[in-house]
Each structure stands twice: as C-alpha cells, then as structure tokens.
Amino acid sequence: MATYIERLNSAILAKRAPVVVGLDPRKEQLPPGLMDSAKSGHSYYSDPTATAYERFCFQIIDIVAPLVPAVKPQAAFFEELGPSGSLVLASVIRRAREAGLIVICDAKRGDIGSTAEAYARGYLAGSDRNAAPWSADSLTVNPYLGPDTLQPFVDVAVKREAGLYVLVRTSNPGAAGFQDLIADGQTHYRHVAAAVEQLAQETRGEQTYGAVGAVVGATYPQELAELRAAMPHTHFLIPGYGSQGGTAQDIAAAFDADGLGAIVNSSRGIIFAYNNAKYKDQFAPEQWESAVEAATRDMIADLAEHTPAGALGG
Ligand SMILES: O=c1ccn([C@@H]2O[C@H](COP(=O)(O)O)[C@@H](O)[C@H]2O)c(=O)[nH]1
C-alpha cells in the first residue's frame, strides 16, 4: 500500500489541484427541494435532515470527484443531528473514498492519551478503508492537552498509513487570543509548530512531508509564511480561503516549488455557491449543482494562477 502523503500527493498531481472541498451541510442553506423530497420519500434514517444531508453530500461528491483530490467532511454538522448524523458521516466518508477521493475528517479530536487512541482507532482507516468505522484517510487533531496526547494519534496513523492535521494557527478572528500568548520567549503556536515539525520529520521516511501535518489558516498570511519556513516537512491543511476572506495570494507561500506541501479548503464557497452573489446571476437555485462545479473550477484556476500550484503536473 502507500502512505497518506503518497496517496495525497498522487491525487493532487492527478487532478493538478491542491483543493479540498469541505462538506459542511447546513439545513437552512440546503438547495431547494432537498428537504421536501427527504420528508416525503422513503428514507433509511428516521430524521429527514439526515437523509437530505446524505443526498446533498453524495451529489457534491459526484460533481467534485473528477476535479479535486479530496473532501473534508466537518463532523460537527453531522453530529448535530445525533445518531443518524453519525451514520450519515460514515456513509459520506465511504462514498467519497469509493469515488477515489482522499477524505480528511475535520473532527478536531484530542484527549488524554488512552482516550486519544480510541479516537484515532475510530476515525483513522488510512490505506485500508475497512480499518475504522469512520474510515477517513486523515483527521484533524487538537493539541491543547499536550505532546503526550498526540503520540497515540501518530502511532495509529503510522500503523494504518493515515494522516493527521494538528491545529497550529487557526483561521478564526480570535486565533491570537490563546495561540499568540508568549511562553519561554515564543508564541504558543510556535511551540506547537516545533512539536508538529518534529513529528513530521519522524514520520516522513523518504518523503519530504510526514504523516503529521498542520492546520494553518489562510486568513493570517504572515504567520503562514513564517510557519512554512519553520516547518519544512509538515504538510499544511489551509482553511479560511473564500468565505472567511483568505485569497490565493495570501497562501502562495505555503507551497513548495513543485506546487506541493499544502491543500486548501473551501466549504461554503463551493457547496452553497448557488447562494453566492458571484454565481446567483448565472445559476438559478435549481441549478445549484452547476454552481458547485463552476465554483470548484474557479477555485482551481485561481490557485493555479496565483500560487506555485500552477506548477502541478507541468
Ligand atoms: O482554523 C480552522 C480550522 C478549521 N476550519 C474549518 O474549515 C471549514 C471552513 O469552512 P468555510 O465555509 O470555507 O469557511 C469549516 O469546516 C471550519 O470548521 C476553519 O475554518 N478554520
């Protein structure tokens, strides 16, 4: 089999796009008709919203699978629905993997070591899709509990050829509140970055990038450039492009000269593009799928034009 980074890089090179489409279904923003048809027709799930989320995500997967290497389901929107949402999350992950997509599950897990191991076993399937019930290729991880709590995730990830993305510098407006606090003359996020880079080095084998990556927000271009220099073996998952204001120019520094080293997420900007001012005039709400495709293609072209991702496959 192949490691997470080998599978991810070959998918990025095949699609010539370092783009991950976020699957963040929100009931109030679903395209017209989806909720009504889920309520009226036969459904496997007791909650019609769960049925609507599954259909919506399956349709998005079908549209984006030929265009991008990866999807990132946001566990929160599925968990919000309770047990049926958790079943849909598993089913969406499975469907995405069957479509050939790399799946980054954004669940931001973290706990004391022995509990962290259970999270890792539940989410990290890696190269063997049947190895975990939520059979993701990689998982986002919260490092707040300390370095010892990252190790169980790393051990499971290495064993199963899976990946991790540890929160280092997040995209939200209040990121600096805790992450920029100084200890021993350095910001908290730089301490986390040093630990993550160490784990990336330990797990990279012959590859440039290790199994342990970092979440770095597109909304803080200066910190992103600084972290890229400090973390040469760490793959970056970059949220904050599009809806949160991050631009392609803001994230150009994240890529290496081959256009690798980072993958950029957009969730609302793609899946709810039909509702976005840029696409509203071109597509009626019933044409929401065409809006998804147009927004995905536009993001790919934007990154190709304004970042070293233009070098992919070239
Ligand atoms: O620092 C972070 C970490 C995670 N996220 C998640 O990414 C997506 C972003 O969605 P958009 O609609 O493209 O803004 C969402 O699932 C967040 O929970 C993040 O934004 N920032």
- pLDDT 10s digits, 203-247: 999 999 999 999 999 999 999 999 999 999 999 999 999 999 999
Percent of the chain with pLDDT over 70: 99
* The pLDDT of residue 203: 98
* The pLDDT of residue 4: 98
67, 293 in Cβ contact below 8 A?
A: yes
Q: Which residue's CA is minimally distant from atom 18 of ligand 1? A: 74
* The pLDDT of residue 137: 98
Ligand 1 centroid–CA 247 distance in Å is 14
Phi and psi angles of residue 139, each rounded to the nearest 5 degrees, phi first: -140, 140
Q: What is the mean pLDDT of the chain?
A: 97
Its pTM stands at 0.98
* The pLDDT of residue 32: 87
* The pLDDT of residue 1: 85
Range from 138-142, 181-185, 230-234, 307-311 carrying the lowest mean pLDDT: 307-311
- 124-136 in b/e form (b: 16+ CB < 10 A) is bbbeeeebbebbb
Provide the phi-psi class of 242: left if phi over 0, else alpha when psi is between -120 and 50, else beta.
Answer: left
Q: Which residue's CA is minimally distant from atom 10 of ligand 1? A: 267
Say if residue 177's pLDDT is above 90: yes
Q: At how many degrees (to 10) do helices 151-160 and 113-123 cross?
A: 30
Angle at 8 between CA 6 and CA 11, to 5 degrees: 105
* The pLDDT of residue 42: 80
Say if residue 43's pLDDT is above 90: no
Catalytic residue positions, numbered = 108
Q: Which residue's CA is minimally distant from atom 21 of ligand 1? A: 171
E-state strands within 75-122: 102-109
Q: If you average pLDDT over residues 89-106, what whole number do you get?
A: 98
Provide the phi-psi class of 210: left if phi over 0, else alpha when psi is between -120 and 50, else beta.
Answer: beta
Ligand 1 centroid–CA 73 distance in Å is 10
Residue 314 banded pLDDT, cuts 50, 70, 90: low
Ligand 1 pocket, mutate which of 265, 275, 276 (most atoms under 8 A from CB)? 265
How far is 200 from 263, CA to CA, in rounded Å? 16
Ligand 1 centroid–CA 239 distance in Å is 5
**Predicted confidence (pLDDT) per residue in 285-303, tens digit:** 999 999 999 999 999 999 9
Q: Which residue's CA is minimally distant from atom 5 of ligand 1? A: 239
Phi and psi angles of residue 263, each rounded to the nearest 5 degrees, phi first: -135, 135
- The helix (run of H) or strand (run of E) holding residue 236 is strand 236-238
* The pLDDT of residue 268: 98
Give every CB contact of residue 84 below 8 A, 6+ residues apart in sequence: 45, 46, 47, 50
Say if residue 313's pLDDT is above 80: no
Give every CB contact of residue 121 below 8 A, 6+ residues apart in sequence: 132, 156
Phi and psi angles of residue 199, each rounded to the nearest 5 degrees, phi first: -65, -35
Q: Which residue's CA is minimally distant from atom 11 of ligand 1? A: 267
Ligand 1 centroid–CA 242 distance in Å is 10
Q: How many CB atoms lie within 10 A of CB 212?
A: 30
Q: How many CB atoms lie within 10 A of CB 223?
A: 21
Ligand 1 centroid–CA 265 distance in Å is 8
Ligand 1 centroid–CA 133 distance in Å is 23
Atom of ligand 1 nearest to the CA of 170: 1
Which residues are near ligand 1 (CB < 6 Å)? Answer: 22, 24, 74, 106, 170-172, 215, 217, 239-240, 242-244, 265-269
At the fourth CATH level, the homologous superfamily of domain 4-308 is Aldolase class I (3.20.20.70)
Provide the phi-psi class of 157: left if phi over 0, else alpha when psi is between -120 and 50, else beta.
Answer: alpha
| Pair of tokens at residue 137 | 């290729």
Give every CB contact of residue 73 below 8 A, 6+ residues apart in sequence: 22, 23, 24, 57, 89, 92, 93, 96, 103, 105, 106
Phi and psi angles of residue 242, each rounded to the nearest 5 degrees, phi first: 85, -110
Ligand 1 pocket, mutate which of 171, 244, 270 (most atoms under 8 A from CB)? 171
Say if residue 165's pLDDT is above 90: yes
Global ipTM? 0.99
Residue 41 banded pLDDT, cuts 50, 70, 90: confident
Q: Which residue's CA is minimally distant from atom 16 of ligand 1? A: 74
Q: How many CB atoms lie within 10 A of CB 197?
A: 20
